[in-house]
Amino acid sequence: MERSIDNVKNFEKIGEIEGVGYSDDRSDYSFTDMELPLIGSMAYYRIKQVDFSGSYAYSKTVGVNIPQVHTSKGTWRAYPNPTTGEQLKIALVDRGQYAEEQITFRIIHPNLITQSRTVRSEREMNDSLSQLITRVPKGVFVVEIQWGKQIEHIKILKK
């Protein structure tokens, strides 16, 4: 499965489903995009079907309008919140407040404070968070994010 946000030029692979191979019976497949952007935009999807020989073909491109998550304040949002600790993502809600600066973040919990990490992008931050979240004890914790001259604290509950 491939997705592109706001245009049909920059598709990226967002998932893969193993085919059942040749069959006379009908085969149904499904995929759920769990990383939708929090800002309002259009998402374009297409399927890249790869045969056993390595040849491939693309499906028709389909566009889906994603409504903006309405928030009262803040540049960043964490989801899912609460989390079970298996997954945690942080996404920009207000792109106007972020000019591609480096991001420094850390996790603050009553029993654990991680060292600050500096990354170059939202994606890098989420890759690091996916490794750190498993070490965070259950309860309320805060992700502190610094970029440019700004700082934000996001409160998260780990069940």
Q: What would the mean pLDDT of 77-92 be, rounded to a whole number?
A: 88
Which residue has better confidence, 120 or 19?
A: 120
Say how far apart CA 80 and CA 78 lie, in whole Å: 6
pLDDT in tens, 46-70: 999 998 888 999 999 998 887 665 5
- Work out the number of other CB atoms within 10 angstroms of the CB of residue 113: 13
pLDDT higher than threshold 80 for residue 113: yes
Say how far apart CA 144 and CA 117 lie, in whole Å: 10
pLDDT in tens, 132-156: 998 899 999 999 999 999 999 999 9
pLDDT at 92: 85
% of the chain with per-residue pLDDT over 90: 42
